[in-house]
Amino acid sequence: MNPAIAIPGLRRNVLPGFSLTLGFVMVYLSLIVFLPLAATLVRSLELSPAQFYAAVTSPRVLASLRLSFGASLIAALLNSVFGLLVAWVLTRYRYPGLKIVDALIDLPFALPTAVAGIALATVYAQNGWLGAPLSLLGIKLAFDRAGVVVALVFIGLPFVVRTVQPVLVEAERELEEAARLLGATAPQIFWRVILPTVAPALMTGFTLAFARALGEYGSVIFIAGNIPMVSEITPLVIITKLEQYDYAGATAIALVMLVASFALLLPINLLQAWMRRMSAQDRRV
């Protein structure tokens, strides 16, 4: 008989009981998440419906929303592709300097966003190290919409890499070898063996990168140029409203961004859960 079972009064859970744990979680979430969101909603209700509609549908706000969500989506998609590639190189190959490359992936986590923005603007400006040769080709990155995407790719890449990397480490290499012995080509192995394995983690990384990009501010304002109707992101519009003491207008824009973000992230999370269930069923089969 298992000795642990024979010990009287032994708890199966290390943490306290369900009621105490759930109460602590609800209090914590209320103070950190629910109350600030409720305050945003209440403050935006100070505006009449006509004022609210006018505040969130002004051409400047709509242009910033299109830029913020569009650039975040593009950056998350790029990070999904290149993040998977980076994670593959980090896990499947051994070469000198691997530890250094692996440590550099976490640099956007530790680097202040303002410093990242200044560095990106310096490098990609028209007289910068990369901006100068790109400008000769007619490509302008800094102080334009493209600069927003560059900054969001920079800060979002680690989310994809660090999410996919453990899955690739634990992936069963025998399945790839078996597929190769059965005559599968490299593309077939990737699409039918590797991708289904990493797809749930890749979707998680995409979601994290997308959500992180939506709220990014520090690194973007230095490289975007912040031209209204051109390269101005929504967080900057909110900050501008706050500096003008238009708190109701700022919270109204924030509420729209919150609702739109939830409307996009909810189906992504549902798709992610479905992919995980399908992956678990395939492993059982």
What percentage of the chain reaches a pLDDT higher than 70? 91
Q: How many CB atoms lie within 10 A of CB 53?
A: 12
Start-to-end CA distance of the chain, whole Å, equals 33
pLDDT for 207-253, tens place per residue? 889 988 988 888 898 888 888 888 899 999 999 988 888 888 888 88
Q: How many CB atoms lie within 10 A of CB 210?
A: 24
Nearest of 58, 11, 64 to residue 221 by alpha carbon = 64
What is the rounded CA–CA span in Å between residue 196 and residue 277?
12
Which tokens go with 61?
């706000």
Return the CA Rg of the chain.
24
Specify the pTM: 0.82
pLDDT-based confidence at 75, cuts 50/70/90? very high
Nearest of 63, 72, 66 to residue 220 by alpha carbon = 72
Give the least confident one: 73-77, 100-104, 140-144, 182-186. 182-186
| pLDDT for 176 beyond 60 | yes
- Token pair 């008989």 is found at 1
262-276 average pLDDT score: 78
pLDDT-based confidence at 4, cuts 50/70/90? very low
Quick one: pLDDT at residue 281? 67
pLDDT-based confidence at 130, cuts 50/70/90? confident
Q: What average pLDDT does the chain have?
A: 83
| pLDDT for 79 beyond 60 | yes
Give the least confident one: 31-40, 64-73, 191-200, 226-235. 31-40
Which tokens go with 214?
């939506």
What angle in degrees, to the nearest 10, is found between the helix axes of 35-44 and 247-284?
140
Using CB atoms within 10 Å of the CB of residue 81, give its burial: 0 to 12 exposed, 13 to 18 middle, 19+ buried.
Answer: exposed
What percentage of the chain reaches a pLDDT higher than 90? 22
What is the rounded CA–CA span in Å between residue 235 and residue 242?
11
100-102-104-106 Cα dihedral, nearest 10 degrees: -140
84-93 average pLDDT score: 90
AA letter at 143: F
Which tokens go with 42?
């209440």
| pLDDT for 14 beyond 60 | yes
| pLDDT for 2 beyond 60 | no
What is the rounded CA–CA span in Å between residue 209 and residue 113?
15
